Copies of this chain bind each other. A is one copy, B any other.
Amino acid sequence: MPKRISPSSTGSTIPAKLEGRSRVVIEHVTPEIDGGEFPIQRVVGEAVVVEADVFGDGHDAIAAQLLFRGPQDKSWRTISMQPVEPIGIDRWRAEFHVERMGEYRYTVEGWVDPFTSWRRAMKKRLDAGQEVHVELEQGGALVVAAAKRAKGADGKRLQEFAARLNAAQDPAKAPDASAAAIDPALDTLMQKYQEHAYCTRYAKELLVSVQRPLAGFSAWYELFPRSTAPVEGQHGTFKDVEARLPYVSSMNFDILYLPPIHPIGHAFRKGKNNAEKAEPDDVGSPWAIGSPEGGHTAIHPRLGTMEDFHALQAKAKELGLEIALDLAYQCSPDHPWVKEHPEFFRKRPDGTIQYAENPPKKYQDIYPLDFETPAWRELWTALKGVIDFWVAEGVRIFRVDNPHTKSFPFWQWVLAGMRKTNPDVIFLAEAFTRPRLMYRLAKLGFTQSYTYFTWRNTKQDLTEYLTELTQTEVVEYFRPNFWPNTPDILHEELQRGGRPAFMSRYVLAATLSSNYGIYGPAFELCENRAVKEHSEEYLDSEKYQLRHWNTEAPQNLLTLIARVNEIRRTHPALHSNRGLVFHKTDQDHLISYSKTDHEQTDCILTVVNLDPYNTQSGWVTLDLKALHLEPGASFEVHDLLTDARYTWNGERNFVRLEPGRAHIFSLSGRR
């Protein structure tokens, strides 16, 4: 005789706190960076599109909602999630907009929706002509329960529906009960008052770091203050920079970034063109920070005073510009910390301090900080003190020199703290290193980052790189900032291609990336002389000497730059990189891509001739669907650079561009 089992016949216990009736599973929530360890990045006003796999066992209908809350919300706000096409893949989606700086959180809930299950089944039963009075009463019970949760008029209407459903036993009233069951008004009411019974909440709360709009959309201009003197050979000052502000502002830049403004060391100072020995009148590299006159919180005496700096900030603000400083955590041998905090540096066996090296090269003018010092807590605190100092002086933007050579835990700590106390501060990582390190810095909280753009010059390289930056998870946390040149990098493409190369590289940077910058006036004057062949270093680099620039030289690109920055400001499509789509061209010198804003109201289509030597022509094959254009449609493209207007037809259209030229089209006629 077989044994009869009983509920007590097993010893395994069920966890006391478990709610075993929570039947819904939530998986693969996106965006989620490294299992939720890091926040995604957004700016005020942007959307966060959240998706999740939400499903239950069996065939019951499921409902899901997105929960989110901002820095000032006391409780969750909710948005109903909708199934993603194709239906049946158990993927759900909703979006919310971030409205304030600071930290947002989001997560997902799902539950079995008995009313929808019942209604779906009821329709099929009615279509099959079945006798359904018991099933109608099942629905009646659900409606009665909802009526108790509802208030006022809604409660009363639900009670009326329940009464109609529960009258189904009377054959005379059965047709009315059936009609009530599938009445859309009942469905709407039931959705409003549905019970989230045995709701499953996703185990993690995911984070959004929300910054101000400039974090996501910015045009940077870098100049060396000491090269702004009106008279050649003189050392420029903050007052001279002030006089240069209208020039920068006329090109419609947002940020004026100054290389280090601190006293410069004398020991092992480098001469012009990086000569190993400086002449007595050589000015030294601004990145060799510190002298007896002070370190990272001091101002180079020849630039001016703190009052001058404040005056410069104020004048810049008037002209719509913000001043960004350089944060270069390294010291010249003359830096005050060398004497005051020798524990911040590594000692060599002979008692001297370890200088920077890239063996066999020695950089004896630079002492790196030792992030493995036993005094690391004091070091971190001192380094944070530098930021705090300049924040107190009104600085809100830092370009951080080589952050990848400082320890990641330090950045994690200092950036998390800044996000809490000063969420408006922007940090641009000047990291040119391996991809994983660059992405890590972004995850730790760098607002923007330099990129490999400078070395991506062909159509294929640009397409692949931008696809990685905008079509993968990277887009959620890493904000690229494209620089066609920097004081360290004069790419061969610019050296050889001259002015047309400067033009095309400029348009690429400014339209591919919502954040970009140039190092001027070298850039807009098309300065392309390298110190020697196969070098990316400038001849007579401003890193080691004063320069005097004639900003009115005929080859200047002021008009182009001013116009492109104006187009950028006017067109929301260019304020983000999320809507980037590449379009096919039938030859490799022509690259074409479009950007569309999240609301699909604005669309900019760019075509660039990558060849700085020859006019190029060919056919662009547009992805009409991505552009929200009907197949075979006729539409107008308006070149915002030349004001020319063309009528294009369907997906294939012909373009012809002179060396380095580009079209920046605004599209109309879209759905």
A→B interface (CB under 8 Å): 2-10, 12, 14-15, 18, 20-23, 25, 27-28, 34-37, 53, 55-59, 88-90, 112, 120-122, 124-125, 127-128, 130, 134, 137-138, 140-141, 197-198, 203, 294, 296-299, 306, 336, 341, 348-350, 352, 357-360, 371-372, 376-378, 380-382, 384-386, 388-389, 404-410, 413, 417, 421, 434-437, 440
In angstroms, Cα B36 to Cα A34, docked, is 11
Contact, CB under 8 Å: A25 / B408 = yes
A421-B10 Cα distance, complex, nearest whole Å = 12
Oligomeric state, in copies: 2
Q: Is the CB of B372 within 8 A of A23?
A: yes
Given contacts A2-B297, A127-B360, A297-B5, contact A434 B55 (CB under 8 A): yes
Q: What B residues does A296 contact at CB under 8 A?
A: 5
A381 touches B2 (CB 8 A): no
| Docked complex Cα distance between A662 and B368 (Å) | 67
A299 to B120, CA, bound (A): 39
Contact between A12 and B372, CB atoms less than 8 A apart: no
- CA–CA, A34 and B299, complex, Å: 51
30 contacts between A and B (CB under 8 A): A4-B294, A4-B336, A5-B296, A5-B297, A7-B378, A8-B381, A12-B381, A12-B384, A12-B417, A14-B377, A14-B381, A15-B413, A18-B409, A20-B377, A20-B380, A20-B409, A20-B410, A21-B376, A23-B371, A23-B407, A27-B34, A28-B34, A55-B434, A57-B406, A59-B358, A121-B357, A134-B348, A134-B350, A137-B350, A138-B349
Q: Do residues B9 and A405 form an inter-chain contact, with CB atoms below 8 A?
A: no
For A21, the closest partner residue in chain B by CB is B372
Contacts of A404 in B (CB 8 A): 57-58
What is the CA–CA distance of A37 and B32 in the complex, to the nearest angstrom? Answer: 15
Ordered nearest first, which 7 A-B pairs have the shortest CB separation? Answer: A128-B360, A35-B35, A5-B385, A137-B349, A124-B359, A2-B298, A121-B359
> Which B residues touch A18, using CB under 8 A?
409, 413
Chain B hits for A27, CB < 8 A: 34, 436, 440
Contact check, A2 vs B306: say whether CB atoms are below 8 A apart.
yes
**Residue contact A4 to B297, C-beta cutoff 8 Å:** yes
> Known interface pairs A5-B382, A349-B137. Does A57 touch B405 (Cβ–Cβ under 8 Å)?
yes
Specify which of A34, A294, A381, A404 lies most central, judged by the most chain B CB atoms within 10 Å of its CB.
Answer: A381
Q: How far is the CA of A6 from the CA of B306 in the complex (A)?
A: 19
Q: Are B5 and A389 in contact (CB under 8 A)?
A: yes
B297 and A3 within 8 A (CB): yes
User: Could you tell me if A10 and B381 are in contact, using CB atoms closer than 8 angstroms?
Assistant: yes
User: Residue of B at shortest CB range from A443?
Assistant: B27
In the complex, chain B residues whose CB is within 8 Å of the CB of A410:
20
Instruction: Report the separation of the CA atoms of residues A12 and B384 in the bound assembly, to the nearest whole angstrom.
Output: 9
Which of A58, A130, A349, A421 has most chain B Cβ within 10 Å? A349
C-alpha spacing A476/B296, complex, angstroms: 52
B138 with A23: CB separation less than 8 A: no
**Additional A-B contacts beyond A5-B388, A124-B359 (8; CB < 8 A):** A9-B388, A28-B34, A53-B436, A57-B408, A89-B435, A128-B359, A128-B360, A137-B349
Closest residue to A58 on the B side, CB-wise? B405
By the criterion CB–CB under 8 Å, are B434 and A386 in contact?
no
A122 nearest in chain B by CB position: B359
The interface centre, meaning the residue of A336, A407, A421, A434 with most chain B CB atoms within 10 A of its CB, is A407
In contact, A88 and B434 (Cβ under 8 angstroms): yes
B388 with A434: CB separation less than 8 A: no
Contacts of A90 in B (CB 8 A): 434, 436-437
Beta-carbon contact of A141 and B371 below 8 Å: no
A299: which B residues are within 8 A, CB to CB? 2
Which residues on B sit within 8 Å (CB–CB) of A28?
Answer: 34
Chain B min CB distance to A174 (Å) = 15
Residues on the B chain within 8 Å of A357, using CB: 121
Does A384 lie within 8 Å of B10, measured CB to CB?
A: yes
Once bound together, how far apart are the Cα atoms of A431 and B471, in whole Å?
34
C-alpha spacing A21/B89, complex, angstroms: 46
In angstroms, how far is the closest chain B Cβ from the Cβ of A286? 16
CB distance from A276 to the nearest CB of B (A): 15
Q: Give the CA-CA distance A341 to B306 in the complex, in Å.
A: 84
In this complex, the member of A112, A128, A406, A440 whose beta carbon has the largest number of chain B beta carbons within 10 angstroms is: A440
CB A111 to nearest CB in B, in angstroms, measures 11
CA distance A531 to B440 in the complex (A): 61
Interchain CB contact under 8 A, B2 and A294: yes
Contacts of A435 in B (CB 8 A): 89
Query: Using Cβ atoms and an 8 Å threshold, which residues of chain B touch A294?
Result: 2, 4
Distance in angstroms from A143 CB to nearest chain B CB is: 13
